[in-house]
Amino acid sequence: MRRQALDNLRAAIEANTERRTLEQLKAQGKRTVRVVSGEKVMQIITAIVNDVVDREVGDATERDRDRIVTETKQQFDRVLKIQADQEALLQEQKDLVGQYRDKLEAAQAEVERVRKQIEDLRAEEGEREAHLIAEHQELLRELNERYTAAAGRAKALEQEKERLSQMLEEEKRRAADREQRQAEEHDARVEGLRKEQAELVARLQAEKGAVAGRQEQALADANAKLHEVEERAAGDRDARVRAEQKAETAERDAQQAVAAAKEAEARRAEADRVTRDLAAKIETQRVALEARDREVLRLTEDLAAARAAAGKADDVRKLEEQLSQMHQFLRVLDERSAGANEATVQALVEQLSQKQTLDTQSLEAKFNQTLDASLEKFTKTVEAATAKPIDIVVEATDVLVDKIFDTPADQMSTNLDSLEVDQKRSKRGIGGSLAALRAMRGGKGKGPGEGDKKGG
């Protein structure tokens, strides 16, 4: 066989066959195989070609045979080349497919990575959002509660302020009326006192003048009588004795007149003393008024302290104004009372003192009452906000429990009586706790309950 033909055959065999190891063949279940050599195959092909040529061509010459074989071989080489080209092309396609597959896997991995990234970001966002929403809701709830509480407090304070304003207005009106009445009464009384005083002075003066006049008249009469007696005495002793007697009588009359004058003088001195006493009493009353002024000042300071505690600035300011007005009124009273009669002024001052005390006490009582009422209301409001309700427990009655389910209990069937329940035992007893509780309660052994009420 020619070497060139053998080489071509070898290439064709390699292109159209596969290598297998003996182990692979065994694995495929092949125990025996036919083995043929390349030379043998060439011989077979040559024999086949010769037969074909002989059959087709017949008695062809050696030259024709060689020509046919050569052409056939060339055709076979061409086919082999085409096949080799196709194999190469196929390998190229396989390589390309492999590359595309690698690229596809890489792209899929990238897609997976991006998708996971998106999921992570989404979860993070959701978490943040949920947290923010929870925070906002909590904040809104808190703000709403505070607003509601503040609105309630503001409304309560407003109502309280309104009520106190009305009370103060009423009090102002009453105080004004009272002041008006007192001023009028005072003026009338003072006028009366002045008139009385003037009359008294006039009476005293008239009395004094009358007494002096009487005294002078009596002296003049006595002198005249004495002169007459002296004239009569010159002529007649009896007349002189009668005249002496008349002179004695006149002297007695004169002494009586002097006594009367002295008495009038004493009464005048008494009137002066009373006037001095009256002035002293007025001074005393002025001191008392000053003391009361100090008391009013103390009340004012207490009022300021109470204002700080109660927090009702407007009300306190108005009360202070009232107090200062009362103060001024007292000063006016003091001035007006300076020129009055002793007893009347004393009565007037005492009356005014009582009224002032009453007014101050009344005002103080009124303020304390208002403050106490406000504090009590505040305390009740706080207690209402924080007080625990009284718990009342109502037990579902047998009737109610049966009515909950339409079918009466005796119409049901169950196997509960014949089944065991899962249970576990604990060696950790309750003796220590019970002993401690009994010792704590002094052995009274009452349970805690809910306010120690039964369930019903």
The residue whose two tokens read 């390349």 is 38
Task: Select 100 or 405, whichever has its Cβ closest to other proteins.
Answer: 405
384 vs 395: CA distance, rounded Å: 27
Task: Select 235 or 448, whichever has its Cβ closest to other proteins.
Answer: 448
Cβ 145 to other proteins shortest distance, Å: 11
Site string for other proteins, 38-57 (x = CB under 8 A): --------------------
Give yes or no for residue 22 binding other proteins (CB under 8 A).
no
Cβ 172 to other proteins shortest distance, Å: 40
Residue (of 155, 178, 139, 130) closest to 362 by Cα position:
178
Give yes or no for residue 432 binding other proteins (CB under 8 A).
yes
Residues in Cβ contact with 279 at an 8 Å cutoff, skipping those fewer than 6 apart: none
Query: From the list 29, 235, 431, 442, which residue makes contact with other proteins (rule: CB under 8 A)?
Result: 431
Give the rounded distance of the alpha carbon of 191 from its chain centre.
62
Give yes or no for residue 415 binding other proteins (CB under 8 A).
yes
Give yes or no for residue 130 binding other proteins (CB under 8 A).
yes
Give yes or no for residue 143 binding other proteins (CB under 8 A).
no
Structure tokens at 185: 């009464």
Which amino acid makes up residue 375? Answer: L
DSSP, collapsed to helix, strand or coil, labels residue 453 as: strand
Residues in Cβ contact with 334 at an 8 Å cutoff, skipping those fewer than 6 apart: 285, 286, 289
Count of other CB atoms within 10 angstroms of residue 307: 18
Site string for other proteins, 367-406 (x = CB under 8 A): -------------------x------xxxxxx-xx--xx-
Give yes or no for residue 19 binding other proteins (CB under 8 A).
no
Query: From the list 111, 123, 297, 308, which residue makes contact with other proteins (rule: CB under 8 A)?
Result: 123
Structure tokens at 94: 């396989």
Give yes or no for residue 442 binding other proteins (CB under 8 A).
no
Q: Is the dihedral of CA 105, 111, 115, 121 positive or negative?
A: positive
Task: Select 101 or 380, whichever has its Cβ closest to other proteins.
Answer: 380
Helix 38-57 × helix 62-235 angle, to 10°:
120
250 with 222: CB under 8 angstroms? yes
Give yes or no for residue 428 binding other proteins (CB under 8 A).
yes
Task: Select 52 or 121, whichever has its Cβ closest to other proteins.
Answer: 121
What is the contact surface with other proteins in residues (CB under 8 A)?
A: 120, 122-123, 126-127, 130-131, 134, 386, 393-398, 400-401, 404-405, 407, 409, 411-416, 418-438, 440-441, 443, 445-450, 453-456
